[in-house]
Each structure stands twice: as structure tokens, then as C-alpha cells.
């Protein structure tokens, strides 16, 4: 009976250790405060404002500075409807077009047309180190909507602040006509 009692006491003594060993350690995202989260979201929104300003003012250098220097992923994906319309017209447009922010910065810098991208339904997810931004857009050229769709950005927080690593967007230009 004494052995059973000693075993029960040992089991009770070890129970808290066993229970805490089962609890996962909090992640970095869980250790962040609400203030940290708000600050990161505000900084990401500021990157979006800087992007918009660079496009509107045709400042390709300012636009390029928002990206990781070696980032080179820029994907334009035709919606199924846009792709089928292009195919029906005999166009050989690819469904997925791979480009880079450098190509877009050249267009922004060299066009005489007025660009004004509009963003809505913005959602930002971040753990303070990486972020995903998702929104709907209408891309206006000379005051008229030329393209629309949804867009996602992948961002990373560098020593110099948030930078865009990749942009992917759906494209449905005919949906506005």
C-alpha cells in the first residue's frame, strides 16, 4: 500500500511538469502586442500610399525603392473570362504573364498617360516579419478604368522597413467595358 501511495504522490508531483511540456511555446506573433500589430499595419499601409504616389507621379525610382532589390516576381493572371474572350478574338495572350517591378517602373516613368490605381477591400495579415496584403483594384488610365481585378502583395520587414517581395494580380480589362 505504501508503494502505491508513493507512486500516486510522484505522479501528482510530476503532473504539472507533464502538462506544461504539452503546451506549445507561444509564437513570435503571439508575443506581439496589439500596438506592435497596429504599427506594422500602419507601416504597410504607408508602403501602399508610397506605391500609389510613385505611380501617379510617374516616379519609377521611388516605386523601385519599395521592392526588395533582388525581388523579381510580378505576375499578371487573366481571369478565365478575359482569357476566353482573348482566345475567341484570335489573340494568343498567355493566361499568366511573368514580369518584374522593374518593367512596371519603366512604364510608370515613361508614359505620358495619367495613372491612378484605386484600391478597396484591403486585408493585411502580418506576424511582424512577413505580410500578405490582399485587395481589389481598378487601374485608371487618363481618368478611365482600364483594368480591374484582385491583387496580392507579399512583403518582408527588412532592417530598413517593409519591402515588397512579390505582386500577383488578376486581370479582367474587358469587365469594365
Q: Is residue 140 part of a domain?
A: yes
pTM exceeding the 0.85 threshold for the entire prediction: no
User: Domain range for residue 160?
Assistant: 34-176
CATH of the domain at 72: 3.10.450.50
Q: Is residue 151 part of a domain?
A: yes
Q: Is residue 23 part of a domain?
A: no
- At 127-165, the pLDDT tens digits run 999 999 999 999 999 999 999 999 999 999 999 999 999
Is 74 within 8 Å of 166 (Cβ atoms)? yes
Q: Is residue 1 part of a domain?
A: no
Total tally of structural domains belonging to the chain: 1
Starting at the edge strand found earlier in the chain, the sheet holding 144-158 runs 96-99, 73-78, 161-171, 144-158, 130-141, 115-126
From first to last of the 177 residues of the chain, give the pLDDT tens digit.
556 555 555 555 554 555 555 555 555 555 668 788 899 999 999 999 999 999 999 999 999 999 999 887 899 999 999 999 888 888 888 999 999 999 999 999 999 999 999 999 999 999 999 999 999 999 999 999 999 999 999 999 999 999 999 999 999 987 655
Q: Is residue 122 part of a domain?
A: yes
Is 72 within 8 Å of 62 (Cβ atoms)? no
- Give all strands (DSSP E) within the chain, no chain letters: 73-78, 96-99, 115-126, 130-141, 144-158, 161-171
Amino acid at each position: 500500500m505504501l508503494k502505491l501511495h508513493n507512486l500516486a504522490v510522484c505522479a501528482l508531483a510530476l503532473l504539472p511538469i507533464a502538462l506544461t511540456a504539452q503546451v506549445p511555446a507561444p509564437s513570435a506573433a503571439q508575443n506581439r502586442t496589439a500596438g506592435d500589430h497596429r504599427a506594422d499595419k500602419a507601416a504597410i499601409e504607408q508602403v501602399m500610399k508610397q506605391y500609389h504616389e510613385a505611380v501617379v507621379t510617374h516616379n519609377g525610382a521611388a516605386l523601385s525603392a519599395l521592392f526588395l532589390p533582388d525581388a523579381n516576381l510580378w505576375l499578371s493572371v487573366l481571369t478565365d473570362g478575359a482569357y476566353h474572350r482573348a482566345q475567341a478574338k484570335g489573340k494568343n495572350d498567355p493566361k499568366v504573364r511573368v514580369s518584374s517591378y522593374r518593367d512596371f517602373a519603366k512604364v510608370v516613368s515613361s508614359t505620358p498617360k495619367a495613372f491612378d490605381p484605386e484600391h478597396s477591400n484591403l486585408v493585411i495579415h502580418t506576424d511582424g516579419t512577413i505580410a500578405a496584403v490582399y485587395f481589389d483594384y481598378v487601374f485608371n488610365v487618363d481618368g478611365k478604368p482600364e483594368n480591374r481585378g484582385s491583387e496580392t502583395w507579399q512583403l518582408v520587414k527588412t532592417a530598413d522597413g517593409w519591402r515588397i517581395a512579390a505582386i500577383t494580380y488578376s486581370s479582367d480589362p474587358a469587365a469594365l467595358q
